[in-house]
Structure 1
């Protein structure tokens, strides 16, 4: 496999941090420096990382960000709509942008609803891998606080994720276990009906 994925659950809220590495070049990035830099930095190792991508502005997803960026010299990337709520941001990512990782390409998908600037990263090779932050979990979309945000998130998920990506795509969420789009797809009408 050209993309190595290492998942580590950290902190009191069991946040998932993901180390993504291009196996041919060794280039790496971290998705969500959520907590416990004392565990994240050994995971990253001496090879280092080029960037940390923060999926959204909620504090449980960036508690270790400043320390990881300071220790590694990595860029800190987030969507412009959420960047003001994240302590260290050195660059931004927008919908449809390609993020290079060595020989590999990750696509940025902006999903509005859980927060205004939530993003997912999609790697389209080898069956497909989607790093969703808190926008999509096994069993439904991420938490929203009003019907407008819920409908926005569901619209984006249906159009940009379920409408475009294949069923075998693995969902790697911000908390908990993985799933696939094919497993979750039949439940979309139920999610819409219940409103969460």
Structure 2
């Protein structure tokens, strides 16, 4: 599996390009900005088709999508259903820094691609998702659910702390330690490293926030 990371935009949102070893599809995960930079990195891959996967609909993860679709013409854009209304909302912005995204394409809440498994990760947003790709080790793209040494914030629209922690405990910490976690911001980590060292997981008082 070949993975490239392109930090994009004001918030340095990680856009990931993933091509599984046994697939001819290039997956673009969370094109938050800088679509031309993403397309330039895509040119380094050997592929026949493109698909876009969105871990959630916050504006810093989708603002480059319209231009990217013009450049790479993906077969589809995937976003889990509970985030689709927010995806299209003009209120999905972070003023004055990030206006609402423009020229967004239609999205689908289903896909028949077998290269990855969708793991529901509500909490940061209601429709948050992870994308688990087979490999040695497996790679899980988790959006803003968990970071190296931290977890996603829940004070934005649709966020819920108890739901976020439940997603982490039931969907992420049940995976093998060697699974690599690729978050929406910052460096990659592993399930085992976060299980052992993440203070928000180890501190039970965080449940009360």
Q: Secondary structure of the residue that 1:82 maps to in structure 2?
A: helix
Alpha-carbon distance in structure 2 between the residues aligned to 1:138 and 1:90 = 29
For the structure 1 residues 157 and 89, does the alpha-carbon distance in structure 2 shift closer, same or farther, using more than 3 Å as the test?
Answer: farther
**C-alpha contact 2:24 2:49 (8 A) present in aligned 1:** no
**Residue segments in structure 2 that go unaligned for 5+ positions in a row:** 88-103
1:67 Cα deviation from its structure 2 partner: 1.1
1:125 Cα deviation from its structure 2 partner: 2.7
- Provide, for residues 53-106 of structure 1, a one-character-per-residue CA deviation record: whole Å limited to 9, x for no partner: 11111100011101111222211110111122223233114xxx8743xxxx21
For the structure 1 residues 151 and 99, does the alpha-carbon distance in structure 2 shift closer, same or farther, using more than 3 Å as the test?
Answer: farther
Which residue pairs with 1:113 in the alignment? 123
1:114 Cα deviation from its structure 2 partner: 0.4
Which residue pairs with 1:90 in the alignment? 107
Alpha-carbon distance in structure 1 between the residues aligned to 2:10 and 2:35 = 13
How many residue pairs get matched?
Answer: 184
Which residue pairs with 1:139 in the alignment? 149
For the aligned residue pairs, the C-alpha RMSD in angstroms reads 2.1
1:193 Cα deviation from its structure 2 partner: 1.7
Alpha-carbon distance in structure 2 between the residues aligned to 1:117 and 1:25 = 26
Say yes or no: does 1:31 pair with 2:42: no
Per the normalisation by structure 2, the TM-score is 0.80
Which residue pairs with 1:56 in the alignment? 56
For the structure 1 residues 98 and 171, does the alpha-carbon distance in structure 2 shift closer, same or farther, using more than 3 Å as the test?
Answer: farther
**Residue segments in structure 1 that go unaligned for 5+ positions in a row:** none
Q: Secondary structure of the residue that 1:185 maps to in structure 2?
A: helix
For the structure 1 residues 89 and 139, does the alpha-carbon distance in structure 2 shift closer, same or farther, using more than 3 Å as the test?
Answer: farther
1:24 Cα deviation from its structure 2 partner: 4.0
Which residue pairs with 2:167 in the alignment? 156
More strand by share: 1
Select which of 176, 180, 194 maps to 2:186. Answer: 176
Alpha-carbon distance in structure 2 between the residues aligned to 1:170 and 1:89 = 30
Q: Secondary structure of the residue that 1:56 maps to in structure 2?
A: coil
